[in-house]
């Protein structure tokens, strides 16, 4: 049987680093953070929480990636010369989609924290969480240069675009689309999918915790025999 002359790998998790390079190994895993956020974070969020803020957060990331792909195919700037070793020469490099994804995520998440949307345990925890996301964004950006997938200019372009698109989409969601959240909740599809908006609740985690305990106590109270 004749083998095909050219084979191409699925590049979703196909990240290469130099053998024996421990830092490269670590950064290769860091480079996969956008995949973990997309597949683990937002899919599980929709399945178990179905918050409109989180859903539109995910929609914004998808829109951001479409914008990135459009710019890449329009500009057609090549990746660095190391792309030959990484089997990445068949795709364009400006702007970096990994950098754009992570900086969109960090920007949007920080703005949610500033507005008090989401699971916030207090001001100190809010700053710690925001610092974590920005550190991940910076390390991911660095990993793409270190591993040879992008130039410095390409990752900074992706980061800048991610901040701009993330901030713009946050404004669209919370200044334009937010007024339709109740309509979405009360729609037939919204009721069927059990989507909800809790962004008006200051501490969602404490609210849900108290209500869950109260529901359990009520259930135990009704279950007791007379």
Determine contact, residues 111/164, Cβ cutoff 8 Å.
Answer: no
Determine contact, residues 126/120, Cβ cutoff 8 Å.
Answer: yes
In which domain, by residue range, is 188 found? 22-199
The domain total for the chain is 1
pTM equals 0.81
pLDDT digit string (tens) for 170-189? 999 998 998 888 888 888 88
Report the alpha-carbon distance of residue 33 to residue 27 in Å, rounded. 10
145 Cα distance to chain centroid = 20
- The answer to whether position 172 is within a domain reads yes
Give the pLDDT of the chain (226 residues) as one tens digit per residue: 455 455 555 555 567 777 787 887 778 777 777 777 766 776 776 777 788 888 888 899 899 989 998 998 898 787 887 776 666 566 778 898 889 988 998 999 888 877 777 655 555 566 777 788 888 899 989 888 888 888 899 999 999 999 999 999 999 999 899 888 888 888 888 888 888 888 777 777 777 778 888 888 887 767 565 5
Determine contact, residues 30/140, Cβ cutoff 8 Å.
Answer: yes
């Amino acid at each position: 049987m004749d083998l095909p002359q050219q084979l191409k790998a699925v590049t979703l998790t196909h990240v290469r680093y130099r053998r024996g390079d421990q830092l490269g190994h670590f950064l290769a895993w860091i480079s996969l953070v956008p995949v973990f956020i997309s597949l683990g974070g937002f899919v599980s969020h929709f399945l178990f929480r179905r918050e409109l803020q989180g859903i539109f957060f995910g929609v914004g990331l998808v829109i951001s990636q479409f914008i990135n792909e459009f710019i890449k195919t329009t500009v057609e700037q090549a990746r660095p010369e190391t792309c030959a070793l990484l089997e990445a020469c068949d795709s364009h490099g400006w702007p970096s989609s990994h950098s754009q994804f992570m900086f969109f995520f960090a920007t949007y998440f920080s703005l949610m924290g500033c507005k008090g949307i989401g699971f916030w345990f207090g001001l100190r925890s809010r700053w710690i969480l925001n610092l974590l996301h920005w550190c991940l964004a910076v390390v991911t950006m660095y990993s793409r240069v270190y591993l040879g997938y992008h130039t410095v200019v390409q990752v900074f372009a992706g980061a800048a675009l991610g901040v701009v698109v993330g901030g713009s989409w946050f404004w669209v969601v919370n200044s334009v689309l937010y007024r339709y959240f109740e309509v979405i909740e009360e729609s037939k599809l919204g009721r069927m999918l059990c989507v909800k908006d809790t962004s008006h609740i200051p501490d969602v985690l404490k609210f849900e915790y108290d209500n869950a305990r109260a529901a359990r106590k009520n259930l135990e109270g009704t279950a007791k025999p007379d």
